[in-house]
A and B are shown apart, each in its own frame.
Chain A
Amino acid sequence: GAGVSQSPSNKVTEKGKDVELRCDPISGHTALYWYRQSLGQGLEFLIYFQGNSAPDKSGLPSDRFSAERTGGSVSTLTIQRTQQEDSAVYLCASSPGVDTDTQYFGPGTRLTVL
Chain B
Amino acid sequence: EDQVTQSPEALRLQEGESSSLNCSYTVSGLRGLFWYRQDPGKGPEFLFTLYSAGEEKEKERLKATLTKKESFLHITAPKPEDSATYLCAVKPAGGSYIPTFGRGTSLIVHP
- Which A residues have a C-beta under 8 Å from some C-beta of B? 4, 31, 35, 40-43, 45, 48, 50, 56, 58-59, 91, 93, 98, 101-108
A108 to B98, alpha carbons, bound, how many Å?
19
A107 to B38, alpha carbons, bound, how many Å?
10
* Cβ–Cβ contact A40 & B98, under 8 A: no
A106 to B102, alpha carbons, bound, how many Å?
19
- Which B residues have a C-beta under 8 Å from some C-beta of A? 4, 31-32, 34, 36, 41-46, 49, 87, 89, 91, 97-104
Whole-angstrom distance from the CB of A50 to the nearest CB of chain B?
A: 7
* Cβ–Cβ contact A101 & B32, under 8 A: yes
Q: Given A40-B103, A48-B97, are A101 and B34 also a contact pair (CB < 8 Å)?
A: yes
- Which one of B91, B97, B104 has the highest number of Cβ atoms from chain A below 10 Å of its Cβ? B97
Q: Which chain B residues border A107 with CB–CB below 8 Å?
A: 41-43
With A4-B43, A50-B97, A58-B98 already in contact, 17 other A-B pairs whose C-beta atoms are closer than 8 Å: A42-B4, A42-B87, A42-B100, A43-B44, A45-B99, A45-B100, A56-B98, A59-B98, A91-B43, A93-B44, A101-B31, A101-B34, A103-B46, A106-B43, A107-B41, A107-B42, A108-B42
Whole-angstrom distance from the CB of A42 to the nearest CB of chain B?
A: 4
Q: Which chain B residues border A106 with CB–CB below 8 Å?
A: 43
Q: Which chain B residues border A91 with CB–CB below 8 Å?
A: 43-44
- Which one of A48, A56, A102, A103 has the highest number of Cβ atoms from chain B below 10 Å of its Cβ? A103
Whole-angstrom distance from the CB of B100 to the nearest CB of chain A?
A: 8
Q: Given A48-B97, A48-B98, are A42 and B103 also a contact pair (CB < 8 Å)?
A: yes
Residue among A31, A35, A42, A59 making CB contact with B97, cutoff 8 Å: A31
Q: Which chain A residues border B32 with CB–CB below 8 Å?
A: 101
A33 to B37, alpha carbons, bound, how many Å?
18
A41 to B103, alpha carbons, bound, how many Å?
5
* Cβ–Cβ contact B91 & A101, under 8 A: yes
Q: Which chain A residues border B45 with CB–CB below 8 Å?
A: 105
Residue among B42, B46, B97, B100 making CB contact with A102, cutoff 8 Å: B46
* Cβ–Cβ contact B87 & A104, under 8 A: no
